[in-house]
Chains A and B, each alone.
Chain A
Amino acid sequence: MSEKQKVAVLGFGAMGSGIAQVCAQAGHEVVVLDTSNEQVEAGRERIEDFLNEGVRREKTTEEDRDATLSRVRGTTEVGELAGVGVVIEAAVEDLAVKKELLSAVAEAVGEGAILATNTSALSVTELAASVPNPSRFAGLHFFNPAPLMPLVEVVAAEQSADETLDTLEAFAEGIGKQPVRTKDRPGFLVNRLLMPYLNQVARAYDEGLASAADMDAALRLGLGYPMGGLELLDLVGLDVHVHATSAAYEQTREPSLAPPPILGRMVHAGYLGRKTGKGFYEYGKEGS
């Protein structure tokens, strides 16, 4: 896929805007679908803010920023997606919502388009079943923030054709990412490794292994991790992690994927991490 295709991104949220930006920066024309004009505006602003910050830090030129923005168009009309070669779904992590959306979009884009989902916790196979000709469907899982994180997981659903996976790998490389291929299992590769570790860290803290600061210092200094496990949980959001790991546990019954009780208690107490000003640590201002 060397010539630049018209790409559709479904959902103009944090991930959707990041993915749209990455594709546009690589030269693709991108149309982003969302449910309201407000969402479309908000999404576009996210890209603008990110690129402006890039200009400020001299990572991006003003010309590149303008060129990127000129390639991104937002819409609330499914019909505008006709002729798109690649669709990347990045809507809310809700199976019913995604299925309905994919079904509608599949009809609009035609049988030739490759359909990919950015889902992190749902079954790519189940989502593939919601579109006709599911052999052209696979997972294309980006990491947050998409413009900065080089890895993309290319996930093979039961129905995915090798050709689809090859095409998505080439597409990912074309937009400057490093793809790794994996099977449709909860957590794929990265989160499948991360979730049990985060569960273990939270449980160990609850059991008094060490103070939060000491535990995180040990992980940073002893293992060279960019941040400790408790810091990371606060950053990701305890509720987000619990949701993902619970879903994975439901599907696999793998004990290490079960969230330890402390996380449920903290979520009930409203201690979700940075976004509520308190998690395992306290934060000066909400969200900082």
Chain B
Amino acid sequence: MLGAGTMGSGIAITVARAGHEVIMRDVSEERVQGGLDSVRRFLGKSVERGKLSEERRDRAVEGLSGVTELEALESCDVVIEAIFEDEGLKAETFGKLDGVCGPETLFHTNTSTLSVTGIASGSEHPERVVGTHYCNPAPLMDLVEVARGRLTSDEAHEKTLEFVEGLGKKAVLTKDTPGFIVNYFLIPFENDCIRLLETGMGTVESIDKAVTLGLGYPMGTFTLLDIVGLDIHKAVATALYERLRDPRFAPPPLVDDMISAGHLGRKSGKGFYEYEAAGMMGT
């Protein structure tokens, strides 16, 4: 597992819980330890809540380790990357792993906005690169979007589906297009909500009510955006807009204003709503 951040830890939990040995890799000892602690903590809580047997937890923890050197990943059958969302960096990392892992090793990318084909081009064996986009939080969300790149082999694709389904996830097949399915629909919808606010069609509260009570969605859009963070929304929307050139994907001007004002959402104590104390919800 490349990347010990939120997604990396979440995917590591999912994979370890399914009985696989997991090596977590990040660029610093500190980050690696943070990831390992996060995984162990979650598994412990799962046992407390009766969601996971002690036996399975013990097995998962035993098979869990952390490293900073890529060379330590030599024996991996699957490498999943959830590192910084930059195509060049991801491609380069896969390229480096060409010299560490065998050509049969599957390289999975958790990218949400980039091209699987583009990432795969960094490897001398692009046929083993597959997009596997998990949802946050990965241990709780069943969906994984599986996107084969232009050069992905049938074999790698099949094995990937087996692997993902073996984790207890629901795999959906999508084309290697910007945003795949989930973000492709979510981002413009969120932007539409922001535009309704900008044009005085409603207030933050009334638009969120339209979404939850009128459309039956689990959370109001502004509630969700405050959780995600306005800066993250801008980055994701911009990345998709740059590839699609569809105006609905462009983050509306209000987003920039809010970022300029420091109203990033929960993490800064204020976004569309105000929060008593700055900080993320616990995961």
- Chain A interface residues toward B at CB < 8 A: 143, 149-151, 153, 178, 180-183, 185, 188-190, 192-194, 196-197, 200-201, 204, 208-211, 214-215, 217-219, 221-226, 229, 255-256
CA distance A149 to B210 in the complex (A): 11
Across the interface, do B174 and A221 meet the contact criterion of CB distance under 8 Å?
no
Could you pull out 22 A-B pairs where Cβ atoms are within 8 angstroms? A149-B213, A180-B210, A182-B202, A183-B200, A189-B207, A193-B193, A193-B211, A196-B189, A197-B185, A197-B189, A200-B185, A209-B181, A209-B184, A215-B172, A217-B143, A217-B170, A218-B174, A219-B185, A222-B141, A223-B182, A224-B217, A255-B247
Give the size range of B's interface with the partner: 35 or more
Shortest A204–chain B CB gap in Å is 7
Q: A180-B207, A185-B201, A200-B188 are in contact. List 16 more A-B contacts (CB 8 A).
A: A149-B213, A181-B206, A182-B201, A189-B206, A189-B207, A190-B214, A193-B210, A210-B172, A211-B173, A214-B172, A219-B185, A221-B141, A221-B142, A222-B143, A223-B182, A256-B192
Contact of B218 among A150, A190, A224, A255 (CB under 8 A): A224
Q: Which residues of chain A are near B185, meaning CB under 8 Å?
A: 197, 200-201, 204, 219, 223, 229
Shortest A162–chain B CB gap in Å is 15
Across the interface, do B214 and A151 meet the contact criterion of CB distance under 8 Å?
yes
CA distance A222 to B135 in the complex (A): 7
CA distance A131 to B201 in the complex (A): 25
Across the interface, do A196 and B248 meet the contact criterion of CB distance under 8 Å?
yes
Shortest A116–chain B CB gap in Å is 18
Across the interface, do B217 and A223 meet the contact criterion of CB distance under 8 Å?
yes
Contacts known (A190-B210, A224-B218); A210 close to B174, Cβ less than 8 A: yes
Across the interface, do B206 and A193 meet the contact criterion of CB distance under 8 Å?
no
Q: Which residues of chain A are near B189, meaning CB under 8 Å?
A: 193, 196-197
CA distance A190 to B248 in the complex (A): 17
